[in-house]
Structure 1
């Protein structure tokens, strides 16, 4: 064993040990590893920084921008709403929907891209369902990796093993040859994450619980106004059709406040704010605040149908409308006046839906109740007007709900953002341009069209993830350049010589999956695929099952956060440590090994 090989192994194992020790930040450890390789002369300075110019790093950075645009325009929240409507707030049902959805997308596009796009969606879901991000982020990453097992283009190792067959004059794998075994792995892997994996994730205790800040619903419950929220639909022939809320006199005559209108023809978010010029139309759904008896009286007089107020409507409403708790300042001109006298709604564009005096809620008609010093008011309205409260001098903001941090800032640009996303996916799937070109084009279009501001694009970048990925790429190159990886491959070839087909498959799987945790799975496959082919020829076997085993193993990057960029992407939002991936990922790798040994020989005979 040469000095370069020994030193490379020492740096590799030292890096792994520091990752597991968890004393230093992972990006610092990764940079230390690159520096050590450079100082030792194993790689050149230009090779040490080459990772920062790799297309995968640039593509991930651009995908952060695309994902942020989907978040800021409300597209992510809308997809989250759809998943929530099907899965409710049940963690199990959400995982059962989320994992196959991500896997399906990853089967036809980059798994890294799929995860980057789904991260804001998962954050939105977690916030609304009060589920810790740690319970969703790792399943998201693992599902994308399993999705790579479904098609020929799902992941580069699949193409590598297919090319290996073609090099020796055999027919390569077809597009869906990977699908049968891949579906089985996805099905069992999803069950694993719903049971054992979920139990292990709950034991970790990491991640953002998203419950440190009070929610919109909790604030409404505190003021006792949850039962005053209603949804009404305008029937054909209603006298409200063509009228504005002001001209209809709903507050004056019925003491009912309309704070939002849902209109069916609007794309994505059908919620719209109520302005003085907004005319009501047939089949509009009015989201109103008022006592039940007043609302029923309004329905009878104005030909409206009562629909209640479902949880899903509250979640959708929170994208555009929210609540805020405020208190008048001691010198505020509001003190001593009623809301009507102060023309509160005209001035602040927000509706008062609750008043709290001391520890008691004001139960009387508070529109005609004078405001006193120390009163706290619960306001409801468009997030943009809630944001402006901090710039005025009459009110002090006491509390804002957690939903405010995920409210889309550019929701009117949602159709454009969705169009840009569709263009990106079409370009990637069709192969008209490279994936990097498609993603860069999408990121630039998101900014040029106003879906995202430039400062928001900068803030969307996750430097820790980018540094780890860029720094680990030279380490993989050092393994190849020094001959360390070739040494291990040759040893494996000698060990497997003369063994039974299943033992050969098991050995190839274990070697591929272990090395794929620390270096590129594509690089590992490039080196192991010839070994699998040579083993098949030496044993007189069909090479297809052995090469299929290598391809599946290359996608089982479950055991470390550096095994795949998708793991690195979810590490920070999930609040995971290095050993968390080991605890959850290694059992899943063993499950996949067993499934591979059982089902690969069924679909590809030796």
Structure 2
């Protein structure tokens, strides 16, 4: 082993260790590697940064934008409604249709994005039908992971492996090269989930009598918000006039949230965000966490007049002010912070008025409660502020009240979103244009038709995922130049000895799947793709079955909740523990592995 190879391997081990520990964030680890690899002298700084110009990186970014267009236009929500209509209350039929639809949508979108879209749909289905959410969330995550085995653009590892083939001088995979493997593996997964669903447990949800999404009134009951609202009119000469309420925090009561400002115009009354400068005559609408507070003292200090609050306040103002349940995804910068430290009102003009660590709303004061991945926050604010949350990568809106349908204008753009998506798929399948150009055209059509705007398009892109891929790509080049790839390939060949190619595929699948338990499947693909191609070269065999095996194994991240963000997103809504994934996921990995080793040589001969 040369000193340069030793340095590259030391950096790689350090990156894997940080990925496994989850500290620092994966994108930060990637940036550290971009900065450190040129110091070894193996690659140059331009080569370390070359990933930012990789067409596949641009393609992945464009796919995030297309997914945002499908979300903003309500296409995914309509699929959920169709699912309920077709499946009714039959749990087995629900699981089958859910997994088929998720895998289909995931074949043209990021699997993480698919789960982010379908978590609210599945929760709504569970509430409407009475099926336990835990029986549906695991099938959701499994189908989303298997969707990565459906098409070339379904998941980042496929594109990484395709790019490695092209760099080695081969043709690369086509759009539907993965489909002959994904369809039978999906069928196996569906049958498996139907058998093991009894072990997913979970109490049955109480069905909503109307079959509709929760309304604002239902959330008020669920989060015990009744009796916490107050209205005060600002009198002339008040110390609050001309100021933002946050600047009066020292004089206000801890736990008192300003939710909106009512202002009487000449012909109508407006509701304004809490960051608006206060004027005389404004009516301040508050939420109070701690009962028994000195509201009389507050009104005296700030010259406020207390007004009555009707019980149907939210319903009466539903065209202006609303609520949303948002989920904290893995990697969110809000994890570990308290509700106060998250400063959602300062950044987004929404206030947190409820919190769920699992499935039950926390009672009492939650302002100083540390936030965890998978937590659910109930936020309140004006509808335009709630819509803007959709493009925040730190939060995922997973449930909107029934009242939102009446104020959401994006649903009318759904046909344009579907046409744009269909055009992208046709262009990719036909090969008339490069994939990245086809995706860019689709994004532009989404923007021209009003499905997305520039702000939401930029914010829809999950930049940490892109930085992770860019940061890991230089390792492939560095390991090739230092002989690390050949060394790893020879080590695997020594393990299998004189065994046949199928045994080699089985070892490659096992090693890739094992790595995927601790690091991201994208990083796994970056590391294992050149090793697989080197083994194919040593065996003087076709590279395609070896590359496909790596791709399938990289998507088989079923075993732990940290194997993939897809799994982490369903932990909270499904009320799962670590061992739930192990006992359900490990047998499924073995099944998928056996099926893959049987299928790959038949469809892609050696």
Same-fold call, TM cutoff 0.5? yes
- 1:189 is matched with 189
Rounded to whole Å, the distance in 2 between the matches of 1:451 and 1:179 is 29
Q: How does 1:536-551 map to 2 (within 5 A)?
A: 548=545, 551=548
Secondary structure of 1:423 counterpart: helix
1:484 aligns with 2:484: yes
- 1:444 is matched with 444
Rounded to whole Å, the distance in 2 between the matches of 1:549 and 1:185 is 18
Query: Could you list the per-position Cα deviations for residues 150-172 of structure 1 after superposition, in whole angstroms to 9, with x for gaps in the alignment?
Result: 99xx9569989999xx99xxxx9
Question: 1:600 Cα shift?
Answer: 6.0
Change (3 A) 1:522 1:430: farther
Rounded to whole Å, the distance in 2 between the matches of 1:61 and 1:327 is 42
> Which is worse superposed, 396-405 or 427-436?
396-405
- 2:244 is matched with none
1:554 aligns with 2:551: yes
Change (3 A) 1:71 1:430: same
Secondary structure of 1:35 counterpart: helix
Q: How does 1:414-563 map to 2 (within 5 A)?
A: 414-500=414-500, 503-511=503-511, 513=513, 517=521, 519=523, 521=525, 524-525=528-529, 527-529=531-533, 531-532=535-536, 535=539, 548=545, 551-558=548-555
Change (3 A) 1:39 1:217: same
- 2:147 is matched with 144
Q: How does 1:262-277 map to 2 (within 5 A)?
A: none
- 2:60 is matched with 60
Question: 1:437 Cα shift?
Answer: 1.0
1:46 aligns with 2:40: no
Change (3 A) 1:484 1:120: same
- 2:10 is matched with 10
Rounded to whole Å, the distance in 2 between the matches of 1:431 and 1:174 is 9
- 1:376 is matched with 311
- 2:249 is matched with none
Question: 1:10 Cα shift?
Answer: 1.8
Query: Could you list the per-position Cα deviations for residues 479-507 of structure 1 after superposition, in whole angstroms to 9, with x for gaps in the alignment?
Result: 32322111111233344443356544433
Rounded to whole Å, the distance in 1 between the matches of 2:187 and 2:589 is 14
Question: 1:103 Cα shift?
Answer: 3.7
Query: Could you list the per-position Cα deviations for residues 380-425 of structure 1 after superposition, in whole angstroms to 9, with x for gaps in the alignment?
Result: 589644469x9xxxxx999969515975442232222222222222
Secondary structure of 2:312 counterpart: strand
Rounded to whole Å, the distance in 2 between the matches of 1:417 and 1:428 is 17
Question: 1:50 Cα shift?
Answer: 2.1
Rounded to whole Å, the distance in 2 between the matches of 1:513 and 1:448 is 42
- 1:369 is matched with none
Secondary structure of 1:557 counterpart: helix
- 1:128 is matched with 124
Q: For structure 1, list consecutive stretches of 5 or more residues without a partner in the other structure.
A: 203-214, 225-323, 333-345, 351-371, 391-395, 538-542
Change (3 A) 1:103 1:484: same
Rounded to whole Å, the distance in 1 between the matches of 2:231 and 2:352 is 10
Query: Could you list the per-position Cα deviations for residues 260-284 of structure 1 after superposition, in whole angstroms to 9, with x for gaps in the alignment?
Result: xxxxxxxxxxxxxxxxxxxxxxxxx
Rounded to whole Å, the distance in 1 between the matches of 2:471 and 2:553 is 21
- Conserved 8 A contact 2:61-2:466: yes
- 1:341 is matched with none
Normalised to the residue count of structure 2, the TM-score between the two structures is 0.57
Rounded to whole Å, the distance in 1 between the matches of 2:153 and 2:456 is 35
Rounded to whole Å, the distance in 2 between the matches of 1:600 and 1:73 is 38
Rounded to whole Å, the distance in 1 between the matches of 2:491 and 2:39 is 29
Change (3 A) 1:23 1:580: farther
Change (3 A) 1:140 1:429: same
Q: How many residues align?
A: 435
- Conserved 8 A contact 2:469-2:523: no
- Conserved 8 A contact 2:150-2:182: yes
Secondary structure of 1:216 counterpart: coil
Change (3 A) 1:16 1:101: same
Question: 1:122 Cα shift?
Answer: 0.9
Change (3 A) 1:492 1:120: closer
1:403 aligns with 2:400: yes
- The CA RMSD over aligned residues, in Å, is 5.4
- Conserved 8 A contact 1:413-1:450: yes
Rounded to whole Å, the distance in 1 between the matches of 2:45 and 2:161 is 32
- Conserved 8 A contact 1:142-1:558: yes
Rounded to whole Å, the distance in 1 between the matches of 2:352 and 2:184 is 53
Question: 1:125 Cα shift?
Answer: 0.7
Change (3 A) 1:148 1:16: same
Question: 1:436 Cα shift?
Answer: 0.9
Change (3 A) 1:198 1:462: farther
Rounded to whole Å, the distance in 2 between the matches of 1:85 and 1:531 is 50
Change (3 A) 1:174 1:327: closer
Structure with higher Rg: it is 1
